[in-house]
Amino acid sequence: MTALAPGIFLFESGKTGPRRLYSAGIHGDEIEGIRLLNLVRKLLESRQANVLIGSVMLVFANLAAIENNVRLTKGGRDFNRSFHLDCDPRINEIKKYVCDFKPTIHRDFHCTIKKIDSPFALCSRAKSNYQDSFNPFCNRFGISTIVRFCYGQNKILTTFAGYTVQNFCTESFTIEIGSKNCAETNERVSYFAKSIIDEIQMAPLQSNSLPLNIWNMGKKITKKSENFHFLRQYKNFELLEEGVVYARDANIEYRAGANTGILFPNDDVDIGDRAGVLITYELTNSSGCAFG
């Protein structure tokens, strides 16, 4: 194991194989993801010769926020809105080592603010890029819901996972393992650590797979003034009735379109920040192949 920089660790097997990047701590108070990565690090340190194929990089992202157990440092940037910029020394340090590493696979672990019933993943992709990887990835990590974002040629992605897919064509997924400070999420840490180790050593996949639900990410909901508020407490992935007013901001009314749900609803954010994302559901069959 080589400590490249504080919170950035490289494990190399000396054998040709995938270059896998696992990260957590983009938001410093998502402690379950940080515990998960610490557990993986300990497993690799204790059994490295037996399990490692290729190379693995572990990144604990926002060290200052992690040390203070806060989402963001005071006056600091949201790392998951800033990877397209060169404005933060820590982000620049991470990008330097990731650029040298050029990962082929990236898993970025997070926790949601609002409760979710089961883990889900988000991916950014150009056109049909790596959709074939949905099923093996979901099988490995026990994921049954994917939210995908298709970006165009001129679209700049701001997240860590978006940075790796856009710059290195990495198979990148952001994984929401559960909600923060939740007993169920805490119990999932060991499961996800085992899933990571299995992925690293290319253990055979289970033959059975869950039906896969695919949502497409749509318009971002931006808080334009202090008057912005949702009309009630919405849950993640809640389908909205077509035409219903689900939020107001001064004289602006937000109405739902057809087949529309909501993700990350949170009106307790700063003006100009994201208060949620609209998503549309895409029907799937039991094998996880999209009809639409």
**What global pTM score does this model have?**
0.89
Q: What is the pLDDT of residue 276?
A: 94
Q: Which residues have a Cβ under 8 Å from the Cβ of 14 and sit 6 or more positions away?
A: none
| Sequence letter at residue 87 | C
Structure tokens given for 109: 């672990």
CA of 17: how far to CAs of 29, 55, 272, in Å?
33, 7, 43
- List per-residue pLDDT tens for the chain, 292 residues long: 899 999 999 999 888 889 999 999 999 999 999 999 999 999 999 875 566 789 999 999 999 999 999 988 877 888 888 898 888 999 999 999 999 999 999 999 999 988 888 899 998 775 555 556 688 888 899 998 999 887 655 577 889 999 999 999 999 999 999 888 777 778 899 999 999 999 998 888 876 566 788 899 999 999 999 999 999 999 999 999 999 999 999 889 999 999 999 999 999 988 998 999 999 988 554 444 333 3
The end-to-end CA distance of the chain, in Å, is: 45
Question: What single-letter DSSP state applies at residue 204?
Answer: P
The residue behind tokens 């993801």 is 33
Closest CA to 161 of 45, 37, 24: 24
* CA 243 – CA 251 distance, rounded (Å): 17
Tens digit of each residue's pLDDT (9 = 90 or more) over 126-166: 555 555 668 888 889 999 899 988 765 557 788 999 999 99
Residue type, 287: S
Side chain identity at residue 239, one-letter code: L
Whole-angstrom distance, CA of residue 94 vs CA of residue 104: 16
Q: How far, CA to CA in Å, does 191 sit from each of 36, 106, 152, 175?
A: 9, 18, 35, 13
Query: Rounded distance, CA 193 to CA 195, Å?
Result: 5
| 230, two tokens | 């949702």
Q: Residue 31 in contact with residue 114, Cβ under 8 Å?
A: no
Q: Tell me the domain boundaries of the chain.
A: 2-200, 217-282
Q: In this predicted structure, what is the pLDDT of residue 204?
A: 87
CATH topology of domain 2-200: Aminopeptidase (3.40.630)
Q: Return the CATH number of the domain spanning residue range 217-282.
A: 2.40.50.630
Q: Name residues whose C-beta falls within 8 Å of residue 70's C-beta, 6 or more positions apart in sequence.
A: 28, 29
CA-CA distance, 264 to 4, in Å (whole number)?
34
Give Cα separations from 61 to 6, 30, 149, 151, 237 (angstroms): 10, 11, 23, 24, 27
In sequence order, which residues have a C-beta less than 8 Å from that of residue 207 and are 6 or more positions away? Answer: none
Give the span between the Cα atoms of 152 and 113, in whole angstroms: 29
